[in-house]
Amino acid sequence: MPEEGVPKKEHNDILSFEDMEKIISVLVELGIKKVRVTGGEPLVRRGCTSFLKDLGQMPINQVSLTTNGFYIDQYKDELKEVRLDLLNVSLDSLDADKFKTITRGGDINQVLSGLQTAKEIGIKNIKVNAVLMKGLNDMDIRRFAEFGKENEIKVRFIELMPFSVCRSYENYGISADKVIKANGLIRTQQKDYSNNVETYMFEDGLEIGFIRPISNKFCAACNRVRLTADGKLLLCLHGQAYVDLKDKIENREELKEAIINGIKMKPKEHEINEGVIQSREMNSIGG
């Protein structure tokens, strides 16, 4: 979390839930089978659970939510009534003090309580994502693996990715390969191709997952697009190309044409290694 917080937007600057549903319905017509609601933190937006409920009525295979876990307890009754095929909870440290530092004051117990609540209300597929950061959590791989086993939750470490607007990568970037080698991890045959997760295990069989967009580029298998809150369809997490859909929402055919033309612009792969770095902040793109 940036020390100064994140810039606020006016209501007129962002899409309404109705606008999002119109865009998503066209994407579904064009073949999209999975929709993930993310942020920032999606549950800070009033009406998010109703939006999730609407998505659950669409003819898609998976509705998922990525959250920091802080508001699961608050919205447990609403979430109980929502179709959630997958819940991802971001948790970058299991140490209370480190967690407080990373989140600028967050209470880890609130997140742990939210995870327990998610299990109690019947969400079956729960995963924890931790961004791999040098000096903050790279020494806690086994602790996370034990946490996952104890709570029957899959834990995956995601390599920190560089963004030009902050110095996080310079300060905390570390290759998953280095961590895998340091912990003597053994590659298993398991791989979640839908999320590009590679599973490794310790000598005693304890498992942990890694997503390696830097050290093991998987762009050839990427079929994702991202719709930002202000109506831009991003074709690549690390690319600058986008299509602005906000002024086309009321004309379905024009909207469909813009989406099709946009997806044709989806790059073959990111160019991080060539020095092409995303200029937007991650919290304005979506995880």
Q: Rounded to the nearest 10 degrees, how much is the dihedral formed by the CA atoms of 80, 157, 37, 78?
A: 20
How high is the pLDDT of residue 191?
63
Instruction: Give the lowest-confidence range in 107-121, 163-177, 188-202.
Output: 163-177
What angle do the packed helices 17-29 and 48-55 form, to 10 degrees?
Answer: 20
The pLDDT, as a whole number, for residue 138 is 96
Query: Which residue in 1, 15, 23 sits closest to 68, CA to CA?
Result: 1
Tell me the two tokens of residue 250: 């009321």
pLDDT of residue 196: 84
Q: Is the pLDDT of residue 218 over 90?
A: no
In a domain, 4, yes or no: no
Predicted pLDDT of residue 283: 63
pTM of the entire predicted model = 0.90
Q: Residue 74 falls within a domain, yes or no? A: yes
Alpha helices in the chain (DSSP H): 17-29, 48-55, 76-80, 96-102, 108-120, 141-151, 168-172, 176-182, 252-263
Instruction: Kindly indicate the confidence band of residue 279, based on its pLDDT and cuts at 50, 70 and 90.
Output: low
6 found inside a domain: no
Residue 180 lies in a domain: yes
Rounded to an integer, what distance in angstroms lies between the CA atom of residue 139 and that of residue 221? 30
Q: What angle do CA 248, 9, 246 make, to 5 degrees?
A: 5
Q: What is the distance between the alpha carbons of residues 138 and 172, in angstroms, rounded to a whole number?
A: 10
**Whether pLDDT at 156 is above 90:** yes
Q: Tell me the pLDDT band of 276, cut-offs 50, 70 and 90.
A: low
DSSP state of 198: E
Residues 150-163, mean pLDDT to the nearest whole number: 89
User: Does the pLDDT value for residue 80 go beyond 60?
Assistant: yes
Region 147-163: mean pLDDT is: 90
Single out the residue of 230, 235, 287 nearest to residue 261, CA to CA.
Answer: 235
Provide the CATH number for the domain around residue 172: 3.20.20.70
State yes or no: pLDDT of 1 exceeds 70.
no
For residue 192, give its domain range. 11-284
Using DSSP's 3-state secondary structure scheme, residue 66 falls into strand
Residue 96 lies in a domain: yes
Is the pLDDT at 77 greater than 70, yes or no?
Answer: yes
Task: Judge whether residue 190 has pLDDT over 60.
Answer: yes
What's the pLDDT at 222?
83
Query: pLDDT band at residue 43, thresholds of 50, 70 and 90?
Result: very high
Q: For residue 219, what pLDDT is reported?
A: 79
Identify the band that residue 278 occupies on the pLDDT scale cut at 50, 70 and 90. Answer: low
Q: What percent of the chain has pLDDT over 90?
A: 70
Mean of all residue pLDDT scores within the chain? 89
Q: Assess if residue 5 is contained within a domain.
A: no
Q: How confident is the model at residue 48 (pLDDT cuts 50, 70, 90)?
A: very high
How many structural domains is the chain composed of? 1
